[in-house]
Structure 1
């Protein structure tokens, strides 16, 4: 038998990196000897990159009011139908009446902002197209809270205020749309109300869009306008079907919200796709970094919710208003309830065996919607107060070494304090190690770039951290 080769010693610097970067009390590596209970618990522990809520954020979350959310949902249902093809000039029924009420509410919030928030209609005429038989005006309601430090950096939250029954072309029957999607509109409106009196560093846009059920028309128009204007949208969330915690079998999960996040970007060029295939990173799109950021900031006792990130663009055979933003190259993700009740969703209002069916307010869980709003608020407010994600992050690959050199551009935020390098095994879904590197634009880690994934995030003077940027290879 050939004698065994002695194990190659780990250099002191590499041992130092491994020891110093494991954040105490954060990510736990589950070994092959772990019990099933330990493995299960590990998935619920905070990731190494988790950010606890600040006192400012905790105060904001306490202001989110389930009663106001319920009032918003019931008011939207009161318009009878909000179908995109319904009447637009009736003061009490149809999508036009709903549009005018939402605008008035948003303007009342803007009045408390000291001039920082504006609310306006964003309209265009959609020519005949699938599910649009005649030229139809589609109108979004957009409230913009301008940032006080880096207003050019923008984050968007939306819900769609149009509704439908089973027949997607039926524009006259009652279509309450409580869960789908007055619940999402109520989230966006409640965040606008609570945040209007505050001063975010970056700009936040609160939107109620139309045309979703007919083909995502309103969101597509909004995303295209942002793109044409060169707007730096660094994150977008749509809230669609976030009203109920009950599944169609009657089971409830009132403390979980799903977040759908696309992997390989929709807008990726063939050259970018080829590079990604050669180095990995299929799980590291900007949208998935955004989803990890939501876990970092909103999956905690302050929101009372567990964020279940789903690594998919959306559910089978369906899509939401985040998709037009993805198609424009923006990071975007969709919140939706843990398990939908298809017996109620998109059903005509009817009574069977003494039970009323349809997408009605009685189906909604208003404390649950409030917790969903807190998840959105925790992520959005931290995004707006933290620095933007680092730009032009790259891994230098020209030298064949067992270390990794990372470079990036310094951000322009006046309160920028420095950067952190994060890393994880290629088989891990979340970042497991954090290395503070200071106010620099390059750093060398004594770990092989062939064996693990790296990322970079920015830190400001109050300790808030940006989403992670996944570096691209630079020969």
Structure 2
């Protein structure tokens, strides 16, 4: 039996670039933030909830009240998360968690993306693109003949230091158990021009094979980076193959984080700064709890000149390739493989 959720559906069931664009255009009219732009955040949350419910998903709003959280500032700028630390006394937010009726009990695969943006940026790529893929994945999975044990998570306060994802990882792991997690982080910006893909400082020494592959391609930003660990190597390969087979073939560059899952991996990252870039989104709290996870990304500030700026607008994204991201994500979510040796580091 095929694991493609569109295989049993009728016409129009492939990922729809026009639908993805509509989602991004609605969400990215301006900054979205529980603290700095609460009305826009509420508008975006209502839209997401209505879209998920309309696709047949049961949506729960899970508020949280987090105190004394070490995180980051959400001020706009072209700097990386790790360079903007801040201690938050109290943060009140909410995640949206959705499941399909009849999906049954047992551990789930989580597909997640953060809804908030930094101040001063409409956040089309970061991260309306990721939320749009979650919504399109919802539509595709709802057509599966048997409802898959997949949970969709639209997460709050990523830009403040993965606050919503920390709450979601703990709650979902406690409630049903989590087999794996797919994080969509800035997945819509691509460029075929040479020299558009940059690498973090120290990256070539730490990841020589991935660096060599990027160099051989002329440093073009024409791929999705699939960040994984040993525990999610097989899932990363599943995603890569599905993206290559999508209507618009999309290369996936696999990059294995050598750190182990769990608290030890977090501590090692403090000693090896280049590795911290691999944990800069909502998959990291799942890794820290020992849960296999992937991060899908266009590499954000290492490719996109509009990252965290007012120019991160819907017109800059590639919706055909974004549809391929959605197709591969849906396939991987319903066929999450058991941990295994997987592919080599790339």
SS in 1 for 2:290: coil
- Taking the TM superposition and a 5 Å limit, the aligned residue runs for 1:29-428 are 56=7, 62-78=13-29, 80-88=30-38, 90=39, 94-110=40-56, 117-130=57-70, 131=86, 133=88, 135-146=90-101, 148=103, 151-165=105-119, 174-200=120-146, 202-229=148-175, 231-246=176-191, 249-250=195-196, 256-262=223-229, 285-301=230-246, 304-312=249-257, 316=277, 319-337=280-298, 340-347=302-309, 349=310, 358-383=311-336, 389=338
C-alpha RMSD of the superposition: 3.2
Q: Is the 8 A contact 2:140 2:330 kept in 1?
A: no
> Which entry has the higher C-alpha Rg, 1 or 2?
1
Secondary structure in 2 aligned to 1:56?
A: coil
Q: Describe the superposition over 1:172-212 as per-residue Cα deviations: whole angstroms up to 9, x where unpaired.
A: xx420000000000000111123224344531111211110
| TM score, norm. by length of structure 1 | 0.55
Q: Take 1:248 and 1:159, find their aligned partners in 2: how far apart are those partners?
A: 29
Q: 2:344 aligns with which of 429, 450, 461?
A: 429
Larger strand fraction of residues: 1
**Residue 303 to residue 155, structure 1, CA distance change in 2 (3 Å):** farther
The CA deviation at 1:286 is: 1.7
d(CA) in 1 for partners of 2:23 and 2:320? 13
Q: Quick one: distance in 1 between partners of 2:3 and 2:139?
A: 24
For the residues of structure 1 that align with 2:11 and 2:221, how far apart are their CA atoms? 21
Q: Output the CA distance in 2 between the equivalents of 1:53 and 1:109.
A: 18
The CA distance in 2 between the partners of 1:60 and 1:119, in whole Å, is 27
After superposition, give the CA deviation of every residue in 1:66-97 in whole Å (9 maximum; x if it has no partner): 0010010010012x211231243x3xxx2122
Secondary structure of 2:99 counterpart:
strand
Partner of 2:203: none
Aligned residues: 290
Contact 2:108 2:180 in 1 (8 A): yes
Instruction: Indicate conservation of the 8 Å contact 2:3/2:331, yes or no.
Output: no
* Distance in structure 2 (CA, Å) of the matches to 1:58 and 1:255: 30
Residues 196-230 of structure 1: per-residue CA shift (max 9 Å, x gap): 2434453111121111011101111010002222x
Question: Does the Cα contact within 8 Å between 2:113 and 2:127 map onto a contact in 1?
Answer: yes
Question: CA separation in 2, counterparts of 1:297 and 1:147?
Answer: 26
> 1:298 touches 1:378 (CA, 8 Å); kept in 2?
no
CA deviation vs aligned residue, 1:116-174 (integer Å, no higher than 9, x gap) = x30121111122434465533211112112454x5413111111110014xxxxxxxx4
Cα deviations by residue, 1:387-431 (Å, 9 ceiling, x for unpaired) = x738xxxxxxxxxxxxxxxxxxxxxxxxxxxxxxx989xxx729x
The CA deviation string for residues 345-367 of structure 1, in whole angstroms up to 9 with x for no partner, is 012x2xxxxxxxx2111211111
Q: 2:55 is paired with a residue of what secondary structure?
A: helix
Secondary structure of the corresponding residue to residue 61 of structure 2: strand
- Listed as ranges, the gaps of 5+ residues in structure 1 are 1-50, 111-116, 166-173, 263-284, 350-357, 391-421, 431-475
CA contact (8 A) 2:21 2:319 kept: yes
| TM-score (normalised: structure 2) | 0.73
Q: Say if 2:9 and 2:143, in contact at 8 Å, map to a contact too.
A: no
Kept in 2, the 8 Å contact 1:141–1:207? The answer is yes
For the 8 Å contact 1:53–1:297, the answer to whether it is kept is: no
| Deviation at residue 103 of structure 1 after TM alignment | 1.3
